[in-house]
Amino acid sequence: MTILDNIIEHKYLEVKLRSEQFPLHLIVEREYYSSPTRSLKNKLKAGPGIIAEFKRKSPSKGTIRSEADVVEITQSYGSAGAAACSILTDNDFFGGSALDILMARPKIQIPILRKEFIIDPYQIHEAKALGADLILLIAECLTKQQIKDFTTLAHDLGLEVLMELHFEEELDKWYDQIDLIGVNNRNLKTFETGIAKSIELAPLLPHESVWVSESGLKGSEEISALIKIGFKGFLIGETFMKAPDPGLLCQTFVQNLTFNSTHAE
């Protein structure tokens, strides 16, 4: 069984339990369920941006920053000029919590991506109620019909969708209503990284979507190369979370990104 298989197996049990503890009729009564959302798609269309991620641990790296304060760090990302925040809400494997989004939402002005292994419509309703602005759909975990259905539901709730892929064949699951398409440079079976995956898939990506490169980004040279081939968003997590001052390092990346985007051919 791969790491991803293990995560998904746990996720089905987790969602069943959560939906029993907090039924949908309670979820829809939460304040943010009827609140307007903020568009990451429009932000990135206007210019390249950093999606700064908050996470405490990962299956591949173990504990990264176990006592991290979600409000403190996401506020520092916002002040640094990040285009959006990505917040891991998986607890068992990433040390996150749905409450992390709920705590961060009133404190930051930039879009929030709920980074989660979504396998059930309940999680999409929950994402909206927590205050997320967009959700992640991992192509490897879902059928094409599920991606269509989940995208329709997300849009009905005012959420944008980032569809993440790892392999060329997963492009068959994309359709033109998806807002952003992400290439995860991390192999979800081995959790190894490398931007070669983004470079390899770039010629095949649909131009109707905004492109995001995710994971394994460590420096401005890599980002500059990806800007030149059409990527607009750059999701960075571990690099920031391992730094003594995540917000300060994020600011450096944002400044370099601004320079690189204005000098990209």
User: Catalytic: which of 14, 116, 164, 238?
Assistant: 164
Q: What is the distance between the alpha carbons of residues 101 and 255, in angstroms, rounded to a whole number?
A: 26
User: Catalytic: which of 58, 76, 185, 215?
Assistant: 215
Helix (H) or strand (E) holding 144: helix 144-156
Residue 214 falls in the annotated catalytic set: yes
Centroid of chain to Cα 221 = 22
Q: What is the distance between the alpha carbons of residues 23 and 71, in angstroms, rounded to a whole number?
A: 27
User: Measured at the alpha carbon of residue 113, what is the angle toward residues 235 and 149, in degrees to the nearest 5?
Assistant: 115
User: Catalytic: which of 58, 86, 184, 187?
Assistant: 184
Residue 200 falls in the annotated catalytic set: no
Q: What is the distance between the alpha carbons of residues 220 and 165, in angstroms, rounded to a whole number?
A: 23
Residue 170 falls in the annotated catalytic set: no
User: Catalytic: which of 53, 126, 160, 222?
Assistant: 53
Question: Residue 134 contacts by C-beta under 8 Å, 6 or more apart in sequence?
Answer: 37, 40, 84, 111, 112, 113, 114, 154, 159, 160, 161, 162, 179, 180
User: Catalytic: which of 14, 214, 222, 238?
Assistant: 214
Distance in Å from the first CA to the final CA of the chain: 44
Residue 228 falls in the annotated catalytic set: no
Residue 164 falls in the annotated catalytic set: yes
Q: Three-state DSSP class for 147?
A: helix
Largest CA distance in the chain: 53
User: Catalytic: which of 11, 41, 55, 128?
Assistant: 55
Catalytic residues: 53, 55, 115, 164, 184, 214-215
